[in-house]
């Protein structure tokens, strides 16, 4: 079976800057893949080129074994764009019916409405939707043709926390039903919660590619913070890779938070304001790219 998405040697240049460098990516059918990266990492450029929104400077893209535009026209691909939108002066139901009417095998409207959580919005004017509702309507449009492949570019950026959770629950359901889901995000937690494969993109290149657990273990550094004035011996504690912090607050970067904490608790009577936190995505990138940035 042809892959759901096959990118070879993709290079995207805007003027003098290169957003994507010779990127290869193959996604099999049925996978749920997160393209994880900070803003400007080249995620959107990759997604937009994959959808045929512009012609890349070099490289080829195949969606379900076809050229991007042909795949979109055939209804094989549903997409949510970062800068996509809904028409003004129209109702949600009108837009949905217009789009559904274009497909040979549309997703039954009533079920589509329930699946995407837009019950009660069909008679709403598009101008009156909240950010989260808009995204859900755009998701419904992306799903209208029952596409085997879904491509989403930062779909939750306009949503509040509850909206995000509901949205990713929907995504997991879709993945369970056999849809291939590819989404770009800059939230490690989102990638971790939804994707079974995480592709980390930085400066237009793939810097890591593996299961969510593998990626997390590579970037799973923790930060242990607490108040202390005597830093003697901290650097030698198990797992600790660096000692930072300012004033009375110490920040230990550790690869094994549990071992570090055990050692701390046996050697110190008090650990005021103790806090253990995950490494930020920025820290994770420093690890993955070897701090070369």
Partner 1 sequence: MTALLTFQLRRVLRSWEYLFFTVVLPALFTVFFTKVFGGQAGSGAEYQDYARTYMVSMMAYGGLGAALGATIRLSFDRASGWLRQLRVLPVPARDVVVVDIAVGMLLVLPSLVVVALVGRFVNGVQLGLGTWVGLVAALWLGSAAFVALGMLLGLALEQKAAGAAMGIVSVVLAALGGLWIPVEVFPAGFRTVAQATPSYWYAELGRGVVGDGGTVLPVLALAGFAAVFALAALAVGARRPLHAVAG
Only segment of 93-101, 234-242, 252-260, 277-285 that touches partner 1 (CB under 8 A)? 93-101
| Chain Cα centroid distance, residue 156 | 9
| Residue among 11, 74, 170, 287 that touches partner 1 (CB under 8 A) | 74
Q: Pick the closer one to partner 1 by CB: 141 or 203.
A: 141
Looking only at residues 109 through 138 of this chain, which bind partner 1 when binding is defined by CB under 8 A? 138
Mark 136-175 with x for binding to partner 1 (rule: CB under 8 A) and - for no binding: --x--xx-xx------------------------------
Is residue 67 part of the contact set for partner 1 (CB under 8 A)? no
Distance, in Å, from the CA atom of 156 to the CA atom of 127, rounded to the nearest integer, reads 19
Please report the DSSP string for 269-293 in residue order.
S--TT-EEEEPPHHHHHHHHTTT--
Residue 288 Cβ vs partner 1, minimum distance, rounded to whole Å: 30
Smallest separation (angstroms) from partner 1 to the CB of 139: 12
Mask 39-58, x = binds partner 1 (CB under 8 A)? ------------xxx-----
| Residue 59 binds to partner 1 (criterion: CB under 8 A) | no
Angle of helix 131-143 versus helix 161-176 axis, rounded to 10:
10
Q: How far is the CB of 287 from partner 1 (least distance, A)?
A: 34
Q: Which of residues 79, 182, 194, 279 is near partner 1 by CB under 8 A? A: 79
Q: Which letter, b or e, does each residue of 140-169 get, where b requires 16 or more Cβ atoms within 10 Å of its Cβ?
A: bbbbbbbbbbbbbbbbbeebeeebbebbbe
DSSP state of 94: H
Instruction: State yes or no: residue 101 binds partner 1 (CB under 8 A).
Output: yes
Q: By CB under 8 A, is residue 89 in contact with partner 1? A: yes
Residue 99 in contact with partner 1, rule: CB under 8 A: yes
Beta strands 275-278; 77-80: pairing state: unpaired
Q: Smallest gap, in angstroms, from Cβ of residue 60 to partner 1?
A: 19
Q: Read off φ and ψ for residue 276, nearest 5 degrees.
A: -120, 125
- DSSP E strands in 156-274: the ranges are 180-185, 197-202, 205-210, 222-227, 240-244, 249-254
Phi-psi region of 3 (alpha: psi -120 to 50; beta: other; left: phi over 0): beta
User: How far apart are CB 95 and partner 1 at their closest, in Å?
Assistant: 8
Q: Which is nearer to partner 1, 83 or 270 (CB)?
A: 83
Nearer to partner 1, 78 or 155 (CB): 78
Helix, strand or coil, per DSSP, at residue 55: coil
102 scored as a contact of partner 1 (CB under 8 A): yes
Question: Which of 2, 9, 98, 114 is the binder for partner 1 (CB under 8 A)?
Answer: 98
Residue 19 DSSP SS3: strand
Q: Does 83 bind partner 1 (CB under 8 A)?
A: yes
> How does strand 149-153 pair with strand 180-185?
parallel
Q: Which of 64, 30, 77 is nearest to 177 (CA)?
A: 30
Binding residues (CB under 8 A) for partner 1: these are 51-53, 72-75, 77-79, 81, 83-90, 94, 97-99, 101-103, 138, 141-142, 144-145
């Amino acid at each position: 079976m042809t892959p759901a998405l096959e990118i070879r040697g993709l290079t995207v240049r805007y003027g003098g800057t290169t957003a994507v460098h010779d990127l290869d990516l193959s996604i099999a059918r049925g996978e749920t893949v997160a393209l994880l990266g900070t803003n400007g990492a080249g995620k959107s450029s990759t997604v937009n080129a994959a959808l045929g929104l512009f012609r890349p400077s070099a490289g080829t893209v195949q969606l379900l074994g076809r050229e991007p535009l042909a795949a979109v026209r055939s209804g094989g691909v549903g997409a949510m764009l970062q800068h996509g939108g809904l028409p003004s002066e129209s109702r949600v139901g009108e837009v949905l019916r217009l789009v559904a009417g274009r497909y040979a095998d549309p997703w039954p409207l009533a079920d589509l409405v329930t699946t995407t959580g837009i019950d009660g919005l069909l008679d709403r004017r598009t101008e009156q939707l909240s950010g989260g509702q808009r995204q859900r309507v755009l998701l419904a449009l992306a799903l209208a043709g029952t596409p085997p492949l879904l491509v989403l570019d930062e779909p939750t950026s306009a949503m509040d926390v509850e909206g995000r959770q509901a949205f990713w629950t929907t995504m997991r359901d879709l993945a369970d039903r056999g849809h291939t889901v590819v989404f770009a995000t800059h939230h490690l937690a989102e990638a971790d919660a939804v994707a079974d494969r995480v592709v980390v993109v930085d400066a237009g290149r793939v810097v890591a590619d593996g299961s969510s657990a593998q990626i997390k273990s590579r970037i799973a550094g923790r930060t242990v913070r607490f108040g202390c004035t005597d830093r003697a011996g901290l650097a030698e504690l198990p797992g600790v890779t660096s000692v930072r912090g300012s004033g009375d607050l110490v920040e230990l970067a550790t690869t094994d938070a549990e071992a570090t904490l055990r050692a701390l608790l046996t050697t110190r009577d008090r650990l005021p304001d103790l806090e253990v936190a995950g490494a930020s995505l920025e820290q994770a990138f420093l690890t993955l790219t070897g701090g070369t940035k």
